[in-house]
Amino acid sequence: PSIRREGFATTPDVTWADVGSLHEVRAELFMSTTFHIAHPELYTAMGVPNPSGVLLYGPPGCGKTLVAKAAASESGANFISIKGPELLNKFVGESEKAVRTLFERARAAKPCVVFFDEMDALVPRRGSDNNQSSERLVNQLLAEMDGVDGRQGVYLIGATNRPDMIDPALLRPGRLDKLLYVPLPPPEGRVSILQALTRKTPLAPEVDIAAIGLDTRCSRFSGADLAALVKAAVDAALKEVVNAAFKDGVFDPAALLRLPSSAGQTTGQ
Ligand code: ATP
């Protein structure tokens, strides 16, 4: 897992249990990805065999990457993640080759979800300042999306914070034609995100996740902000555990082995 897997097929270890809030996004991704992967024959019978591509948009840190991974793992599909700027930063001509290789890998690993992060960097609205090589890259990408006989078994999910900055050609039918907004969580959404984030964390009985999530001090927190809050609480609890493992200035490692329960007892103090 420590190996860098950018651009290669993996099976993500994220499940929907790790995702809080975002029920509508989940339901939409179920229909466009999971159900399609399970029953492609139904779509063929309806005369529309190709899956729709999805563009997730919204403020940073609200779960776009997370839901794309959860949708892939729920479907038992492979997952390839690529960041727009990484494809762009190749040498002239190399980016187009990288796009081809990416789709070759996806076809070899199908059913496969290809996740394009920072889509706006990859396919910016075409204007006078675009150079020829980025134009060629965009054309290559669009051609791969359309595919020779469609794109059976390859599911595209893009993500951006700036949907207005994306070349509209990308959003045409058959490409990323389904736009899904991934919003900042409402107060009760924050509670469900905190629950997902702490589902494997031992908590002291007095830790009231609902009260923390609803607290106005957390207003406008993204999922990433809530993850940082949980991390800070865990760090503080572990610090207490480590301090407690020092007896008369001598460190007692055996005390650390009792960590989950002692972390639980110290969290809320
Ligand atoms: P960016 O636009 O910056 O790429 P993003 O929308 O893709 O952000 P993620 O990378 O999915 O955001 O989220 C960052 C981290 O924040 C996640 O790894 C997770 O810890 C936490 N997080 C965000 N949203 C949620 C959520 N809805 N449920 C649980 N955790 C969340």
| pTM (predicted TM-score) | 0.89
Predicted pLDDT of residue 259: 59
Q: What is the rounded radius of gyration, in angstroms, for the C-alpha atoms of the chain?
A: 22
pLDDT band at 2 (very low <50, low <70, confident <90, very high): very low
Measured in Å, residue 60 CA sits from the centre of ligand 1 at: 8
230 Cβ closer than 6 Å to some ligand 1 atom:
no
Residue 95: is its pLDDT beyond 90?
A: no
The 10s digit of each residue's pLDDT in 191-240 is 999 999 999 999 989 999 999 999 999 999 999 999 999 999 999 998 88
Predicted pLDDT of residue 83: 92
- Mean pLDDT across 153-166: 94
196 Cβ closer than 6 Å to some ligand 1 atom:
yes
Measured in Å, residue 223 CA sits from the centre of ligand 1 at: 5
**For the chain, what's the residue count?**
269
Measured in degrees and rounded to the nearest 5, phi and psi for residue 70 equal: -65, -40
121 Cβ closer than 6 Å to some ligand 1 atom:
no
Predicted pLDDT of residue 183: 97
- Mean pLDDT across 16-21: 98
Predicted pLDDT of residue 114: 96
Residue listed under structure tokens 């809050």 = 229
Measured in Å, residue 245 CA sits from the centre of ligand 1 at: 34
- Residues 6 or more apart in contact with residue 143 via CB below 8 angstroms: none
Global ipTM: 0.97
pLDDT band at 266 (very low <50, low <70, confident <90, very high): very low
Residue listed under structure tokens 């106005």 = 216
Per the prediction, the chain carries an average pLDDT of 89
7 near 114, Cβ under 8 Å?
Answer: no
- As given in the structure block, the two tokens for residue 165 are 């900055």
233 Cβ closer than 6 Å to some ligand 1 atom:
no
- As given in the structure block, the two tokens for residue 108 are 């070899």
160 Cβ closer than 6 Å to some ligand 1 atom:
no
